[in-house]
Amino acid sequence: MKTNRIIALISAVAALASCTGNRQNDLPLLEGKSWCPEYTEIAINYMPEDNILTAQIVDILPEEDSTFSLNFDTHLDAEAYELYIGTKVYGVYLEKGETLGMEVRPGEGETENYELSFSGKNAQLSEFASAMFAAYDIFEYGGPDDDGSTTNEEYVQKLDSRHAALVEGLAGIEDKNIREVFAKQVEAGYNGLRFRLLMDKAENEDLELEDMPEYEELLAKCDPEDIYCLRSGFTFSWLFQQTEVEGEFGGDYSPICIDLLNIAGKIKNPVVKKACYCMIAHNFFSYGDHESGKDEFWAAFCKACKKYPDLIQRFQSEYERVVTKIETMPVPEVTLTLPNGKTTTLLEACKGKVTYIDVWATWCSPCCKQIPFLETLVEEMKDSDVNFISISVDEDINAWKTKIAEDKPQWAQYVVDTENNKALCDALNIRGIPRFMIVDSEGIIIVPEATRPSDEETKATLEAL
């Protein structure tokens, strides 16, 4: 069986819808006011290369009077953006030369939610974009931290219902070109998520994905040349289904990744091809056992990416770390800052003990979902000699301080500034969060990619050290 978990981790991710218009840069793209607590993160997910691995987070920072104004250099004149508020996903439609008004208020009820109101020319399009991105938020349908209380069939019903509402809502978009763009986005997002749910079902029930009735029909809906399938993440699901080479986490991952490079090389769309090459390399360096096959993969990757020297440069340091065996490297010399403003080093923070390190941020939904599990793990192991620390990569220090003041974690909390954040991520090959790792009592990283607190294996691993 091809490993479904690989694909599930990289599939259906919220994306962009775009069209062209007149270039005008003298007006803010977005302005408004937030009535939410000051620690509430508001940000836009921007993918200038249509690649989820090179996405940029554009923070929206309210002033003291809670108003905000945003302008940034976009590569298209008008597009729909994924909008993060706290741990929730919404959307906006921004157009150069037009200012979208937006007001954000906390919603009612115990669960986190927000109420958005838009004004201006693109208010209706923003309402649709917000509904679309919320409907296709991958964490609304399980994800790595799913507690199992909702069945796969219930998730499918939920997705089908929200998709039907979006299809009906398309009729309200007057501009034909914009409507067609959104229609493509809606279908690509739906099909990508629907396929991911099929993969989840196969993995959870130990079934052969290829033998499931919906498999062929759903997979056929992915056009590997289509930019909207790429933006939805569906292309990566399709790609990993094209290889007949076996590959598993923790094993020699080079044969399957080299085969995937060959498959991706047949894609004609250069944007899609480059994104696929990038994802393949990311998977190889993140999930494979690099004792064998690393040189073969690197040679194949460099040959495939002759037209993309920036990709070779991006992964050069990761290849070099594999060659020098990152598993035996000491913790990097980075400075950590405590809530009281004092500083220490990462090595000093480990206290000469086996240390479980959590790298996170307040704006990262998967990170925040791990906090209760980490709290339980810390409590269960309080009589052990294991040390726990959390390192935030938040740029907004107030958001970090407010979050830990609310949660009152019973383990050490640190934050890194921009310079030390870069040093930490570069040294440890951190390309996404949350990231967990284990350091031994000598300050040597022995598990650079540790399991999450929510994983039952984590406690057993720590107890065995």
123-135 vs 176-204: helix axis angle to the nearest 10? 10
The arithmetic mean of pLDDT across residues 239-245, rounded, is: 92
Give the residue with greater pLDDT, 330 vs 133: 133
Give the Å distances, CA to CA, from 65 to 30, 37, 84, 306, 398. Answer: 16, 12, 21, 51, 16
Calculate what percentage of the chain has a pLDDT beyond 70. 89
285 or 161: which carries more pLDDT confidence?
161
- In three-state secondary structure terms, 86 is coil
Inform me whether the pLDDT recorded for 277 exceeds 60. Answer: yes
Rounded mean pLDDT, 69-76: 87
pLDDT value of residue 55: 84
All domains of the chain in start order, with CATH: 4-232 (no CATH), 242-324 (no CATH), 335-464 (3.40.30.10)
- SS3 label, residue 316: helix
Look at the pTM and tell me if it is higher than 0.85: no
Strands, DSSP E only, in 352-452? Answer: 355-360, 387-392, 412-415, 435-439, 445-447
Mean pLDDT of 348-363: 91
pLDDT class for 114, splitting at 50, 70, 90? very high
Tokens 């040959």 identify what position?
303
Rounded mean pLDDT of 408-413? Answer: 93
Q: What is the mean pLDDT of residues 374-393?
A: 93
- Asked whether 95 and 71 are in contact (CB, 8 A), the reply is no
Q: Does the pLDDT at position 22 exceed 70?
A: no
Residue 123 has pLDDT above 90, yes or no: yes
Sheet holding 67-70, edge to edge: 67-70, 30-34, 100-106, 114-119
pLDDT of residue 77: 87
pLDDT at residue number 133: 96
pLDDT of residue 147 exceeding 90, the answer is no
Report which of 323, 327, 349, 350 is spatially closest to residue 338, judged by C-alpha positions.
Answer: 349
Q: Which residue has the higher pLDDT, 229 or 8?
A: 229
Q: Cα separations (Å) of 377 from 358, 360, 452, 453?
A: 12, 16, 10, 7
Q: What is the mean pLDDT of the chain?
A: 87
Neighbours of 446 (CB within 10 A): 14
DSSP string, 128-165: HHHHHHHHT-GGGG--TT--S-S-HHHHHHHHHHHHHH
pLDDT reading at 386 higher than 80: yes
Name every residue whose Cβ is closer than 8 Å to that of residue 338 and which is 6 or more positions away in sequence. 344, 413, 414
pLDDT of 62 > 60? The answer is yes
The 8-class DSSP code of residue 444 comes to B
User: What average pLDDT does the segment 174-186 reach?
Assistant: 96
**Dihedral, CA of residue 85, residue 90, residue 93 and residue 94, to nearest 10:** 10
